[in-house]
């Protein structure tokens, strides 16, 4: 078994234990960040390292009386995909029969 495959197997083996105790999980893959908790699954855009404007910083500071950060279009103009999860229905107090 290769080292990469072994790491994948160990990660998959640890997921149920982590899922039982953790409330939320966040992973970064490509130009999106995966965020999962008990209420939603969300893919959020991330700044691109190859962006010629921000070079992966996600924005830049604008000078003036009230300096603030302006978001770069490489991630700010892309949509966030969100899938809301339905609540688990309550268990019935009565036996089924």
Q: How far apart are CA 32 and CA 29, in angstroms?
A: 6
- Site map 4..23 versus Zn ion, x via CB under 5 A: --------------------
Residue 77 per-residue DSSP state: T
State which of residues 72, 86, 87, 95 lies at the interface with Zn ion (CB under 5 A).
Answer: 72
Residue 51 beta carbon to Zn ion: minimum distance, rounded to whole angstroms: 3
CB of 28 to Zn ion, least distance (A): 16
Distance of alpha carbon 24 from alpha carbon 28, whole angstroms: 14
What's the per-residue H, E or C state across 17-71?
HHHHHCCEEEEEECCEEEEEECCEEEEEECCCCCCCCCCCCCEEEECCCCCEEEE
Segment interacting with Zn ion (CB under 5 A) among 24-32, 33-41, 48-56, 76-84 = 48-56
Task: Decide if residue 41 touches Zn ion (CB under 5 A).
Answer: no
Task: Find the binder of Zn ion among 35, 44, 45, 51 (CB under 5 A).
Answer: 51
Structure tokens given for 69: 């950060």
> Which residues of this chain interact with Zn ion, rule CB under 5 A?
51, 53-54, 72, 74
């Amino acid at each position: 078994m290769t080292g990469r495959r072994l790491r994948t197997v160990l990660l998959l083996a640890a997921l149920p234990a982590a899922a039982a105790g953790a409330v939320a999980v966040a992973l970064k893959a490509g130009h999106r960040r995966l965020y999962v908790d008990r209420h939603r699954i969300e893919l959020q855009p991330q700044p691109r390292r190859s962006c010629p404007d921000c070079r992966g910083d996600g924005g830049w500071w604008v000078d003036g009386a009230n300096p603030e950060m302006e978001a770069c279009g490489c991630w700010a103009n892309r949509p966030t995909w969100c899938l809301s999860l339905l609540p688990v229905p309550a268990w019935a107090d009565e036996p089924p029969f």
